[in-house]
């Protein structure tokens, strides 16, 4: 004998013998869909973290940045930037003169401060005030230059931005221009020293000449490291020149264990915080990186425990990706069988999204 029991409490009528049942079972029932919604809201954070743990277990997130073929124009010796003929983002032809530079030979440059003429008994108070202002402004210029050098070193280590370096340079150039103006005024009043276009540490009446710096290829200036009238040391950068047409590549940092899965011509998908994705293929697993480029790497890329590989975009880079140093991320499988699945999908299934 089979006994079947059906709970019809949820279907109990709300009216009985023509009288409304206020607390009937039908009124007390709660729809199942509402319970599912509440349970889903409660456990959604748990599902999210479980998904992130699974994703990080199967995949490794690699960081990289956009790089472009460019070169730096350096000062061959100590001297002063006389004039810049091109400014930032200006196109330039091969062999064109970028700037004029005044180097200082041993006869021109002297490691002695400016020697002002001795004060005489008939020296008026204006000359005395000018000498005090010159001394004060010289000390301020020296402090500003020291701060500028410190900011440049901090930027190389990733602890300062180019905007902060530019601000320090403007402060330094402001003190320089003020000092030059005071020196010219002093020279006019005393008529014993001509300080026109003289450096802080140069003797009066030194012979000066200019040396042209030309562009090695067609391109454009993407960064200006010095201002007209600024004094630089040997090997200081003057400008950074980008080749035209621009040849963009991607530097990607990977872990050593990934070398067993990543080979040349391996296709990767990279994304940026600015939006959009690009596809690139590996062209070198051991690229040569010049020493000056090692200093320019972004701070998030200076991990000695990782290996740098070189990728080439498989399509023309969109405008938002044409930024040197733009951070990129690539999520790659941790295990080799996931690479095989992804390659099978690309060649056969061609899904709307890839692993």
Rounded to the nearest 10 degrees, the angle between the axes of helix 162-190 and helix 125-156 is: 160
Question: Which pairs from 162-170 meet CB under 8 Å and 24+ separation?
Answer: 162/223, 168/144, 169/227, 169/230
Query: Residue 231's pLDDT is what?
Result: 82
Average pLDDT, whole number, for the chain?
73
Where are the chain's structural domains? 8-47, 57-69+246-349, 70-242
pLDDT of residue 26: 54
Quick one: pLDDT at residue 348?
Answer: 64
The C-alpha angle with vertex 54 and arms to 51 and 55, in degrees rounded to 5, equals 85
Pairing of strands 79-84, 211-214: unpaired
Q: Which pLDDT value is given to residue 117? A: 47
Residue 106: its pLDDT value, please?
34
For residue range 160-187, what is the model confidence (pLDDT) as tens digits? 777 788 888 888 888 888 888 888 787 7
Task: Please state the three-class secondary structure of the chain as a single string.
Answer: CCCCCCCCHHHCCCEECCEECCCCHHHHCCCHHHHHHHHHHHHHHHHHHHHHHHHHHHEEEEEEEEEECEEEEECCCCEEEEEECCCCCCEECCCCEEEEEEECCCCCCCCCCCCCCCCCCCCCHHHHHHHHHHHHHHHHHHHHHHHHHHHHHHHHCCCCCHHHHHHHHHHHHHHHHHHHHHHHHHHHHHCCCCCCCCCCCCCCCCCCCCEEEECCCCEEEEEECCCCCCEECCCCEEEEEEECCCCEEEEEEECHHHHHCCCCCCEEEEECCCCCEEEEEEEECCCCCCHHHHHHCCHHHCCCCCEEEEEEECCCCCHHHCCCCCEEEEEEECCHHHHHHHHHHHHHHCCCCCC
Question: What is the per-residue pLDDT across 185-200, written as a single tens digit (0 to 9) for each?
Answer: 877 777 544 434 444 3
**Is the pTM above the cut of 0.75?**
no
Q: Within the chain, which residues score under 50 in pLDDT?
A: 9-10, 105-122, 192-209, 351-355
Question: What's the pLDDT at 43?
Answer: 94
Query: Dihedral through CA 22, CA 24, CA 26, CA 31, nearest 10?
Result: 90
Of the options 3.40.50.300, 2.40.30.170, 3.40.50.2300, 1.10.3210.10, the CATH number for the domain spanning 57-69+246-349: 2.40.30.170
Tokens for 104? 């200082």
pLDDT the model gives residue 199? 42
């Amino acid at each position: 004998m089979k006994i079947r029991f059906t709970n019809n409490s949820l279907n109990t009528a709300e009216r009985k013998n023509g009288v409304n049942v206020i607390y009937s079972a039908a009124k007390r029932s709660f729809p199942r869909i509402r319970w599912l919604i509440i349970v889903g809201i409660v456990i959604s954070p748990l599902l999210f973290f479980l998904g992130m743990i699974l994703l990080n277990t199967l995949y490794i997130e690699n960081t990289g940045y956009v790089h472009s073929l460019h070169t730096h124009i350096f000062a061959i010796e100590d001297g002063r930037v006389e004039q810049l003929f091109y400014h930032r983002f200006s196109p330039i032809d091969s062999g064109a003169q970028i700037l004029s530079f005044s180097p200082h030979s041993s006869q021109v440059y002297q490691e002695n401060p400016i020697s002002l003429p001795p004060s005489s008994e008939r020296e008026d108070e204006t000359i005395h005030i000018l000498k005090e202002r010159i001394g004060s402004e010289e000390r301020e210029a020296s402090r500003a230059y020291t701060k500028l050098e410190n900011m440049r070193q901090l930027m190389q280590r990733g602890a300062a931005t180019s905007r902060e370096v530019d601000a320090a340079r403007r402060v330094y150039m402001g003190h320089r221009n003020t000092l030059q103006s005071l020196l010219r005024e002093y020279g006019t009043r005393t008529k014993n020293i001509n300080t026109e276009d003289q450096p802080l540490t140069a003797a009066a009446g030194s012979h000066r000449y200019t040396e042209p710096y030309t562009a090695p290829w067609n391109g454009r200036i993407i960064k200006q490291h010095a201002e007209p009238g600024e004094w630089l040391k040997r090997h200081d950068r003057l400008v950074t020149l980008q080749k035209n047409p621009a040849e963009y590549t991607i530097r990607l940092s990977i872990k050593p264990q990934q070398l067993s899965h990543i080979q040349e011509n391996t296709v990767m998908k990279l994304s940026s915080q600015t939006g959009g994705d690009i596809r690139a293929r590996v062209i070198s697993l051991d690229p040569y990186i010049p020493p000056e480029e090692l200093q320019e790497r972004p701070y998030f890329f200076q991990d000695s425990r990782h290996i740098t590989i070189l990728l080439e975009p498989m399509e023309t880079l969109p405008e938002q990706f044409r930024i040197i140093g733009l951070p990129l991320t690539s999520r790659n499988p941790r295990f080799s069988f996931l690479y095989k699945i992804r390659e099978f999908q690309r060649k056969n299934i061609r899904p709307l999204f890839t692993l």
